[in-house]
Amino acid sequence: MKEFVTGNIRNVALVAHHGVGKTSLAEAMLYQAKATSRIGRVADGSTMLDHSPEEIARQMTIDLGLAQFEYQGHKINLLDTPGYSDFVGDVYSALRVADAAVLMLRATAGVEVGTEVVWGVLKQEKSPLLIVVNMMDKEHADFMGAVRSCHDKLGLNAVPVQLPIGQADGFHGVIDLIENKAFTFTGRGTEEKSQEVPIPGVLKEEAAQARATLLEEAATGDEQLMEKFLSTGDLTVAEIRKGLCERVVACDLAPVFCCAAALNLGVKEVLDEIIDVLPGPFDVHHQKAEGMNGSVEVDIAPETTGPVAATVFKTLAEAHLGELSLIRLWSGHVEPGHELVNTTRGRNEKLGTLYHLCGRDRSDCKGAAAGDIVAAVKLRETHTGDTLADKSRLVKLSPPDFPLPVAAECIRAKNKGDEEKMAVGLMRLHEEDPTLSKHVDESTKETLVSGMGDLHLEILVERMKKRFNVDVLLSRPRVPYRETIKGKAEGDYRHKKQSGGRGQFGEVHLRVAPLPRGGGFEFLDEVKGGVIPGQYIPAVEKGVHAGMERGPLAGYPVVDVQTSVFFGKYHDVDSSEMAFKIAAESCFHETILKAHPVLLEPFADLEIRVPEEFLGDVMGDLSSKRGKIQGTEAEGHEQVIKAKVPMAETYKYATHLRALTQGRGQYRSKISHYEEVPRELADKVIAAAKAEREAAHAAAHHG
């Protein structure tokens, strides 16, 4: 593919609820642009964009797909995003770098659950968009019903620029309100042809009214156009497109089209308007970058002659190539061999081979200008979200603002000795998809993997097996309980050991007292008169630290305790740091048993968004989970509930919330604080820990 100038590039993301036909629309567009000679079908796994084994098996988009093709002298970089909410991270990636979006709706349903999810991301990114009402050939298709749902559910100024001629089985053409012409379709798929016809008599009045609305909307954002419209009542086709483009860029208006993508009906018309109405790199706001060393904000204009500034927005794994980094170029010009700096990680990167991608197909790219997207192979230390820049202007661009994971599981390798392979696989998958993450919980010693839902983690398990040849098992994570004390106590312990030659001796007297919740740990040296020499005091503190690692009730770490060493004894010959460390650890264990120890559990701060009709059900459910409602507030048609809920009650909450709200509830969670566990629950946790210890001891003894 030749190199395109910035003004002739369109970066467009396809977004929608799951199963609305994004990939089918992309396939038909590729056929219309003569980028392929056939139209692939999701049902038989023959599409260019959904080509991973997991996508073909499930007949759904899981990874962001890129189709780069030429149409009417323009280069279109089409980003096909997943519709299932477990993979919403790729919607954030695509909208971070696209200049505009195509939001697709099902003609039979209008705005659905997934539409509301992606609408949240569209608003956050301030993405200009047009709307395509797809599946106009299906029974109960209702074009105007879908348009109304945009107004009612999203508060979106959706304005038809087409009207369908017929619906369901009778869908056979469109009225183009911009050009005031009608077109009918004959044939289907690769046989599709359209021809201009007079506007059907039964639709003339509806078309005239819809066109008058369109003209007024197109004129609204521009004084000169409004003046002309008020004086003549009409605008030229070029003026309508100019006015629409200005309103679309300002996110004031979304033009609405209709099609049946799987049959290739109406697709060419959508493709034409992507070029004529949607903005290119020059039309949208400039990127703002952070100068290095805390210097001022830098304006990144889409100038090919300027220094390079680029965002790596997705890392793809290619079976025979290794990793491919998808790069959006905000300014400058790149070619193979170009030396850049990864300003996110402070590393130099040299670009090797560059590619244009069209789904699974790729072709060599000799160079690319500001505004374009390229795929670079085998960058050494560059991952999703990183910035690449020229040495002459070191800047850092904002990465995609990924949502926090909402589902966590304990992960372990099925076979002993595979732990390292598992760690490498998890690191690589996180680099490709930052919404997947792993960490080791210090108190439970478990490796936890987090993602956007059960299916997200299911795919992770499959990829660990297929790509890294490691079987992993997921299980419910243990709750990271803590232990503390409610009272004060004193105790002493003498460690004395004589075993021929030099012995061990150390005596320690400790006082413990509770600290406020979140107070952590304080160690006080209150020894008088040198009864414990100063050089042994750090060893006493180390011993107390060691004692805090396993609490007396269930073996969880001890927190929020002040410990003072106030007396002790030593021996000139037999005392040592080790003797005092052992004495302090044993003394601490014995002393806190007398200070009314209690079990603490972690609480999570939950922010839950639900449509108003589910508010009562969700709040009732939170109460049944021992949750404490902090408040609710209305945001549009949604209610935002803020609550503090014990983490023990939030396992698989993402799935549970979807079930409660017909898939429309979303939430964010972060650890908030610790609170005392109610007595009867604490007894169960302590009994379970005791049984676990006894089982482990028996297994070790038996072994």
Q: Which CATH number does the domain housing residue 666 bear?
A: 3.30.70.240
pLDDT tens digits, one per residue of 512-525: 999 999 999 999 99
User: 405 falls in which pLDDT band (50, 70, 90)?
Assistant: confident
pLDDT tens digits, one per residue of 416-473: 889 999 999 999 899 889 999 999 987 788 999 999 989 999 999 999 999 899 999 9
Instruction: List, as one string, the DSSP characters of 347-392.
Output: EEEE---EEEEETTEEEE-S-EETT-EEEEE--SS--TT-EEE-TT
pLDDT at residue number 233: 86
* Burial (CB count within 10 angstroms: exposed 0-12, middle 13-18, buried 19+), residue 492: middle
State whether 441 and 510 are in the same domain: no
Compute the distance between CA of residue 446 and CA of residue 7 in angstroms, rounded to an integer.
52
The dihedral through the CA atoms of 534, 539, 540, 542 has a sign that is positive
Last-in-domain residue among 532, 561, 595: 595
State whether 162 and 57 are in the same domain: yes
Angle at 333 between CA 330 and CA 337, to 5 degrees: 125
Compute the distance between CA of residue 654 and CA of residue 667 in angstroms, rounded to an integer.
7
Q: Is residue 355 part of a domain?
A: yes
User: 387 falls in which pLDDT band (50, 70, 90)?
Assistant: very high
Q: Is residue 690 part of a domain?
A: no
Query: What residue has token string 């992993």?
Result: 472
Q: What is the dihedral of CA 535, 536, 537, 542, to 10 degrees?
A: 120
Answer yes or no: is pLDDT of 655 > 60.
yes
In the predicted model, what is the mean pLDDT of the chain? 92
pLDDT at residue number 502: 75
State whether 496 and 580 are in the same domain: yes
State whether 202 and 312 are in the same domain: no
User: 684 falls in which pLDDT band (50, 70, 90)?
Assistant: very high
47 touches 418 (CB < 8 A): no
State whether 412 and 377 are in the same domain: no
DSSP assignment, residue 265? B
State whether 136 and 245 are in the same domain: yes
Q: Is residue 698 part of a domain?
A: no
What is the chain's Cα-based Rg? Answer: 32
pLDDT at residue number 503: 84
Q: Is residue 520 part of a domain?
A: yes
Q: Is residue 198 part of a domain?
A: yes
pLDDT at residue number 701: 74
* Mean pLDDT confidence for 48-52: 75
pLDDT at residue number 129: 95
Contacts of 566 (CB under 8 A, 6+ apart): 509, 510, 511, 526, 527, 528
pLDDT tens digits, one per residue of 137-150: 999 999 999 999 99
pLDDT at residue number 54: 77
Nearest to 133 by CA among 161, 154, 113, 153: 161
* Mean pLDDT confidence for 65-80: 95
642 touches 630 (CB < 8 A): yes
Answer yes or no: is pLDDT of 668 > 60.
yes
Compute the distance between CA of residue 598 and CA of residue 560 in angstroms, rounded to an integer.
11
Compute the distance between CA of residue 244 and CA of residue 214 in angstroms, rounded to an integer.
9
Q: Is residue 210 part of a domain?
A: yes
Answer yes or no: is pLDDT of 294 > 80.
no
Answer yes or no: is pLDDT of 113 > 80.
yes
Which has more pLDDT, 95 or 500? Answer: 95
Answer yes or no: is pLDDT of 703 > 70.
no
Q: Is residue 317 part of a domain?
A: yes
State whether 246 and 347 are in the same domain: no
State whether 65 and 152 are in the same domain: yes
CATH code for the domain of 232: 3.40.50.300
Last-in-domain residue among 548, 566, 595: 595
Query: Which tokens in the block code for residue 670?
Result: 């972060």
pLDDT tens digits, one per residue of 226-267: 999 899 988 999 999 999 999 999 999 999 999 999 999 999
pLDDT at residue number 381: 87
Query: Which tokens in the block code for residue 685?
Result: 């946790």
State whether 549 and 431 are in the same domain: no
Residue 562 β-bridge partners:
513, 522
Last-in-domain residue among 249, 276, 303: 276
The range of the structural domain enclosing residue 673 comes to 600-678
Query: What residue has token string 């990271």?
Result: 480
Q: Is residue 163 part of a domain?
A: yes
pLDDT at residue number 297: 85
CA distances in angstroms from 606 to 45, 140, 609, 641, listed in the order given: 39, 39, 10, 8
Q: How many CA atoms lie within 13 A of 432 on its CB side?
A: 19
* Mean pLDDT confidence for 115-125: 91
State whether 648 and 577 are in the same domain: no
The listed range with the strongest mean pLDDT (195-199, 405-409, 689-693) is 195-199
pLDDT tens digits, one per residue of 302-326: 999 999 999 999 998 876 777 899 9
State whether 166 and 308 are in the same domain: no
List alpha helices for 16-112, DSSP H. 22-32, 53-58, 89-97
pLDDT tens digits, one per residue of 609-645: 998 999 999 999 999 999 999 999 998 778 999 999 9
How many separate domains does the chain show? 5
* Mean pLDDT confidence for 153-177: 94
Query: What residue has token string 């642009």?
Result: 33
Residue 625 β-bridge partners:
none
Q: How many CA atoms lie within 13 A of 592 on its CB side?
A: 31
State whether 520 and 576 are in the same domain: yes
CATH code for the domain of 372: 2.40.30.10
pLDDT tens digits, one per residue of 191-200: 888 899 999 9
